[in-house]
Amino acid sequence: MSTNHSILAHHFADLDQQRETETFGMWLFLSTEILIFGAVFTCYTVYRLRYPHDFEAASAKLNVLIGSINTIVLLSSSLTMALSVHATRVGRQQMLLTCLLLTILLGGTFLGLKVLEYYKDYKDNLVPVLAFKPEEWTQVQGEQGPVQPQRVELMLVFYYVMTGLHAVHMIVGMGLLIWLVVEARKGLLTTVRYMPVEVVGLYWHFVDIVWIFLLPLLYLTGTHHAADLHF
Amino acid sequence: MFAEIPLFPEQASTTAQRVDALFFFLCTVCGSMAILIAGLVLFFAFKYRRRAEDERTPRIMGNNRLEWFWTIAPLFVFLIMFLWGADIYTSVALPPPDAADVFVVGKQWMWKIQHPGGQREINELHIPVDRPVKLTLTSEDVIHDFFVPAFRTKIDVIPGRYVQTWFQPTKTGRYHLFCSQYCGTSHANMVGTVFVMERDEYRQWLGGQAATGSLADQGRQLFLKFQCITCHSANAEARAPILEGLFGRTVSLRNGRTVVADDAYLRESILYPEAKVVQGWEPIMPTFKGQANEEELIRLLAFIKSLKPGQTPVRNEEALPPLDAPKMPPGGNPKQHEAVPTYQPQGKSNEP
Amino acid sequence: MSSAITTGFVPQAKPRPPRAPGENYLNVAIGVKSWLFTTDHKRIAILYLVTVTILFFLGGAAATVIRLNLMTPTGDLVPADTYNKLFSAHGIIMVWFFLVPVIPTVLGNFLVPMMIGARDLAFPKINLLSWYIFTIGAVITLWALIAGGVDTGWTFYTPFSSKYARTNVMPTMIGIFISGFSSILTGLNFIATMHTMRAPGLTWWRMPLFLWAHYAASVILVLATPVLAMALILVGVERAWGIGIFDPELGGDPVLFQHLFWFYSHPVVYIMVLPSMGIISEVVTCFSRKPIFGYVFIMWSSVGIAVLGFLVWAHHMFVAGQSVYSAMIFSALSYLVAVPSAIKVFNWTATLYKGSISFETPLLFALGFIALFTMGGLTGLFLAALGVDMHVHDTYFIIAHFHFIMVGGSVMGYMGGLHYWWPKMTGRMYSDFLSKLAALIIFVGFILTFLPQFVLGYLGMPRRYHVYPPEFQVLNVMSSAGASILAVGYVLPLFYLFWSLYAGKPAGPNPWGATGLEWQTPSPPPTHNFDESPIVTTGPYEYSVEESEIVH
Amino acid sequence: MSEPITPTRTYYSVFAALIALTLVTVAVSFVELGAWHTTVGVLIGVVKASLVGLFFMHLLHSSKASWLAVLAGLFWLSILMALTLSDYLTRPLLQY
């Protein structure tokens, strides 16, 4: 069936139908993803409104420098991903390969920085259960007195659940990109069969969009100071 | 046993009368609807049964007027049902001001009840007839649900906060109290009895209970035991606000907002003192989370509520030895078995 | 890769391979491998049929022990812990591993491509993948339920599930989480298929209502399931590391879990019942030999249910400590969602009017559906009324209500659909007498089982009780007696349907004289469904015209 | 009919806008805004996400069906948020 790499699957009438179906399928999957993340965002919002000062205080302690650099890294990877699609469409195989590898590289950089950041967080006692010192927080003044360590922990839990879930999506995306590289090297991604790049691209951009919202919700909710800009 | 099949629950509160009235209305409306549809289906099925294999049917595709009629007409009926139901619901959510207080703490798997007079009961609730009773409920562990079918009263008892409901019994007697939110192994044994008594009888019962002072008195002891008095004293150099006459007042907070000093606020302020600090005061109060349990919190609150101007204890008044809660046998209150003897299965007491 | 393709020339669909006479999807290949690696939607439907049938009887077995235990007020049969594990297992298996998947994955998988005149679903490999995911999820869950069990109920309410339960909560949740992706992929596949693969001439307004119902149900599958998945993850995180998202001790709110849970679990009821409604529309028209009454209204009511169904979830939480205002909003919205269901019932009834009604087995099930679903729907009005819900919430009234919807509605519809399309799926007819007997037994058994539970509920018997006050015994015994009749009704089809595979007389392509593309091809259908691509020129259900206008 | 090919120039300009917006949103977090940080941040996020969606993900030239999928996802998310908050935001209103 697929042994001869026939492009048109047996059950489609023509390639346009097949392409339309594949893009639409991915968009449907992304609508599911919207609600996967949406459910955590909803929980976050409920507690954000309930414990505003504790959340702001916790947010101010997160590493805004790594967070921001990672945003730029991820946006750049989105650019190279978009360029991969362009390269496939115009049939520039070398550019395609370069862009895909760049995307993987940037994605890897993001994950590497993320791991570094988690390590820093651990050193800074910002990990609930594993490394967290409630007494550090009772000294922190919110707008109306010291913050509640437990509520700070709650914010940090959301930080790990959300960024963790995002990282899992990144890892899946990296796997898909590696598959694309293999396909591209075999010369299987052409001006006619460009859908794999387009569809993986949709997924990759979506993961980027999630991060676009994680940045303000997690890192930028509290007020930072120039001194916070360090690794 | 088979001679008497119960069909309708006892109606023993003012709420029960209102709920039943709506229930009968719903039965009438929905019953006639069901009969109408079933009748039409059966009638059509019989009248238009296939008589010959080559029968033809008219090509009827629909009727917009009819469609809109049965789309919109039910909405009016539904509106009545909604408003009627909402009316009952809101009245249950708002206790009358003269209601008597009863405090309920649920835990796996028993109900612990405290009266303002200091009387305590387990899995039993004694109340007078024809008098509104307001329940303030909380849980020590999981979500429970306080359900008295005869009163049509049900409310989830949630850990970490107070919920309130009220009812006014109209008939003396013994009624079932169920936990109706699944809460673990002995969920089905987290049951008790509500005794609705004549006023005299009730007064007698109250007097017969061994209580070490009223709930507020017990709270006063705790107020001293936990050293609350060190800061919340009545003199000028007090480090914390005076609590006299606080309950029900609107309080200004440090962040410029205001809050009504109700049960929930007082509870939060004891457990999470930094959450809502009163204007003009420093957030220096330590938390009493883990020190005061739910029942003790209720007593403290009862004391704070009872505090009239000039009643704050003197700071050097000696704290009495802490009150010991009566020791419970593992199977809950033995009285419970007498109350509903057939209810407890043999050999299956509600071991925690 | 042919050069024609690289130049942008788009080839026609591959011609269908010539078919030997009598060759069909069942006999085209044999052996276990040919089933386990198939991408044919019809074979995958059969795989699902086998899987969910096994799961149905496992869930049913749990129900049997529950009903036996409730014969006596002292619950003498099993200890409390076992009882709690049994009702949890019953709920978990029946909801996630039978009722949600059953109609979409068995009948939907088989019929969606056939009804739209396609050769397969849009993503055949994903379709197979979703069966594997489902099976893996089911195996993990079953393992968790059998090796130790879980005692949280199917609702997993926090903080009981996250802190206090000492049973296999984690593996069960993992199993459900995994199977959730099977739901999502199935729904996604259906929506994509219906959007892009309809036969020429099959416009949206000509789609059979079975498809519209599946479209609506798929929307719910795709958009609700992820929220459940996330809710389970959060409970899992809390349980594993003791951090409080829903734990009031640590600043969380246990009621928030209920919001997330019911955002999925209320619409899920419509996933169960919408496809069933689709079946009823097909069956009622076929056996009264008349076009459906008010096609557009039934179609819009399906879509309406899919949307409105999402606006009402907190009516499961009227006494759960939510705000009074919010409770009123949800009560009002709950009444709105009753309207589309009512529209459907009225239209089915009107379809019978002046029909030529033939009482074949599928119609008997369909009439049973209408009766029981109407009862279930009308009692829903009681629960939407805030005042009454306060009393009957979490009692047997609720149990009776949702069994009327899910079993009286969903399962009845599924049985009707299975009997309707069985000749198409297998090419054989089943025993007429036994199938009608089964329909009757199920109907009577059902009523006897669940009608007394309404009374029990209003009397105040709480759900999930292992023991109960003795005055409730008579009604419980009645219910258990009904359940034993019901059990016979469910086991009976197992035998005669199985028997029909060997001894049933050949059905022919269209035994019921039905319209619809699936009847225009031999039974059982060939692998590619149609020997020639169908072209559609009329709406569905043209039963009242001289001859079929579907052109080949 | 296959989708039109987006020229690289579009991609580069969108990318520049995204980076600019990122710098703005980070810069804003150094200003004392209190509770408004989240609002401002999310609003800028919406602009950025729209840019990515419309241009990088080609929504601008996508079929109606794809739009339907996105809008459905967002609509259902708004249901989840709005009705959940309808509980939390009105809870304090009723004082016992």
Instruction: Convert the pLDDT of each residue in A109-149 to its tens digit.
Output: 999 999 999 999 999 888 888 888 888 887 776 666 677 88
| Chain B residues within 8 Å of chain D (Cβ atoms) | 93-95, 164, 260, 262-264
Alpha carbon separation from B47 to B44, C283, C372, C374, C545 (Å, rounded): 5, 19, 22, 22, 22
Q: Which among D84, D93, D94 has CB closest to C259?
A: D84
Alpha carbon separation from B348 to B189, B320, C75, C79 (Å, rounded): 9, 40, 10, 9
- State the count of interchain CB pairs (< 8 A) between B and C: 304
Q: Half-sphere exposure of residue B55, counting CA atoms within 13 Å on the CB side? A: 17
Helix residue ranges per DSSP H, C70-168? 80-94, 100-101, 109-115, 124-146
Domain count, chain C: 1
Backbone angles phi, psi at C293, to 5 degrees: -85, 120
**Residue C454 lies inside a defined structural domain of this protein:** yes
Q: Is C332 on the interface with D (CB under 8 A)?
A: no
Among A86-95, A134-143, B285-294, name the one with the lowest average pLDDT: A134-143
Confidence at B351, pLDDT banded by 50, 70, 90 = very low
Prediction pTM value: 0.90
Query: Which residues does B176 contact at the CB level (< 8 Å), separation at least 6?
Result: B148, B149, B150, B191, B193, B194, B340, C460, C469
Query: Which residues does A189 contact at the CB level (< 8 Å), separation at least 6?
Result: A88, A93, A96, A180, A183, A196, A197
C-alpha span between B131 and A210 (Å, rounded): 57
Pairing, β B144-148 against β B173-179: antiparallel
Residue to test with chain C: of D87, D90, D91, most C Cβ within 10 A: D87
Q: Is D95 on the interface with B (CB under 8 A)?
A: yes
C-alpha span between B309 and B8 (Å, rounded): 51
Q: What is the DSSP letter of A216?
A: I
CB B12 within 8 A of CB B170: yes
Residue in chain B lying closest to C333 (CA): B82
Query: What does the pLDDT look like over A214-227, one tens digit per residue?
Result: 999 999 988 888 77
**Residue A6 lies inside a defined structural domain of this protein:** no
**pLDDT at residue B302 is higher than 90:** no
pLDDT at B343: 38
pLDDT at B297: 87
Domain count, chain A: 1
Residue to test with chain B: of A47, A56, A140, A144, most B Cβ within 10 A: A144
**Residue A116 lies inside a defined structural domain of this protein:** yes
Q: Is B189 on the interface with C (CB under 8 A)?
A: yes
Backbone angles phi, psi at B315, to 5 degrees: -65, -35
Residues of D in contact with B264 (CB under 8 A): 96
C-alpha span between A215 and A219 (Å, rounded): 5
Q: Is C213 on the interface with A (CB under 8 A)?
A: no
Backbone angles phi, psi at A84, to 5 degrees: -60, -45
pLDDT at A142: 65
CA distance B108 to chain D (A): 27
**pLDDT at residue B344 is higher than 50:** no
Confidence at B230, pLDDT banded by 50, 70, 90 = confident
Q: Which among D72, D80, D90 has CB closest to C325?
A: D90
C-alpha span between C37 and B102 (Å, rounded): 66
Q: Kindly write down the DSSP assignment for every residue of C3-16, as one continuous string.
A: HHHHTTPPPPPPPP
Reduce the DSSP state of residue B101 to 3 states and report it: strand
Sequence letter at residue B88: I
CA distance D88 to chain C (A): 7
Interchain pair B255, A143: CB under 8 A = yes
CB D18 within 8 A of CB D27: no
Residues of D in contact with A30 (CB under 8 A): 69-70, 73
pLDDT at C10: 39
Residue to test with chain C: of A17, A36, A43, A210, most C Cβ within 10 A: A43
Reduce the DSSP state of residue D7 to 3 states and report it: coil
Nearest Cα neighbor of D77 from B147, C105, B215, C226 is C226
Segments forming the whole domain that contains residue A102: 15-222
Residue in chain C lying closest to D92 (CA): C323
- State the count of interchain CB pairs (< 8 A) between B and D: 10
- State the count of interchain CB pairs (< 8 A) between A and D: 163
Query: What does the pLDDT look like over B1-55, one tens digit per residue?
Result: 445 778 899 999 999 999 999 999 999 999 999 999 999 999 999 999 999 888 8
C-alpha span between B74 and B62 (Å, rounded): 19
pLDDT < 70 stretches in chain D = 1-2, 93-96
Per-residue pLDDT of chain C (552 residues), as tens digits, is 333 333 333 344 555 666 777 888 988 888 899 999 999 999 999 999 999 999 999 999 999 999 999 999 998 999 999 999 999 999 999 999 999 999 999 999 999 999 999 999 999 999 999 999 999 999 999 999 999 899 999 999 989 999 899 899 999 999 999 999 999 999 999 999 999 999 999 999 999 999 999 999 999 999 999 999 999 999 999 999 888 889 888 888 999 999 999 999 999 999 999 999 999 999 999 999 999 999 999 999 999 999 999 999 999 999 998 999 999 999 999 999 999 999 999 999 999 999 999 999 999 999 999 999 999 999 999 999 999 999 999 999 999 999 999 999 999 999 999 999 999 999 999 999 999 999 999 999 999 999 999 999 999 999 999 999 999 999 999 999 999 999 999 999 999 999 999 999 999 899 999 998 999 999 899 998 988 888 898 888 988 865 444 433
Residues within 8 A of D (CB atoms), A 112-151 only: 143
Residues of D in contact with C326 (CB under 8 A): 83, 86-87, 90-91
**Residue C457 lies inside a defined structural domain of this protein:** yes
Sequence letter at residue A16: D
Query: What does the pLDDT look like over B178-188, one tens digit per residue?
Result: 999 999 999 99
Residue in chain A lying closest to B287 (CA): A148
**Residue C18 lies inside a defined structural domain of this protein:** no
pLDDT at B316: 57
Segments forming the whole domain that contains residue C481: 39-520
- Which whole number is the average pLDDT over B261-284? 81
Interchain pair A39, C226: CB under 8 A = yes
Query: Which residues does A230 contact at the CB level (< 8 Å), separation at least 6?
Result: A65
What's the token pair of residue C468? Answer: 């109960």
Residue in chain A lying closest to C220 (CA): A32
Stretch (H or E) spanning B136: strand B133-139
Residue to test with chain A: of C119, C223, C230, most A Cβ within 10 A: C230
Nearest Cα neighbor of B114 from B204, B220, B215, B199 is B215
Residues of B in contact with C459 (CB under 8 A): 6-9, 149
Interchain pair C472, B6: CB under 8 A = yes
Q: Half-sphere exposure of residue C381, counting CA atoms within 13 Å on the CB side? A: 32
**Residue A174 lies inside a defined structural domain of this protein:** yes
- What is the predicted ipTM? 0.90
CATH assignment at residue A171: 1.20.120.80
What's the token pair of residue C184? Answer: 């999502």
Backbone angles phi, psi at C551, to 5 degrees: -90, 140
pLDDT at C238: 92
Residues of D in contact with C196 (CB under 8 A): 65
Residues of C in contact with A165 (CB under 8 A): 233
CB C323 within 8 A of CB C294: no
CATH assignment at residue C345: 1.20.210.10
Interchain pair D95, B164: CB under 8 A = no
Domains identified in chain B and CATH numbers: 10-40+74-211 (2.60.40.420), 215-306 (1.10.760.10)
Q: Which among A1, A13, A129 has CB closest to C13?
A: A13
Q: Which residues are registered as beta bridge partners of C454?
A: none
Confidence at B321, pLDDT banded by 50, 70, 90 = very low
C-alpha span between B227 and B172 (Å, rounded): 43
Q: Half-sphere exposure of residue C424, counting CA atoms within 13 Å on the CB side? A: 24
CB C228 within 8 A of CB C315: no
CB A47 within 8 A of CB A155: yes
pLDDT at C16: 62
Rg (CA), chain D: 18
- B74-79, long-range: CB < 8 A, 24+ apart: B74/C338, B74/C339, B74/C342, B75/C335, B75/C336, B75/C339, B77/B29, B78/C335, B78/C336, B78/C338, B78/C339, B78/C381, B79/C335
C-alpha span between A30 and A36 (Å, rounded): 9
Q: Is A12 on the interface with C (CB under 8 A)?
A: yes
Residues of C in contact with B40 (CB under 8 A): 349, 352
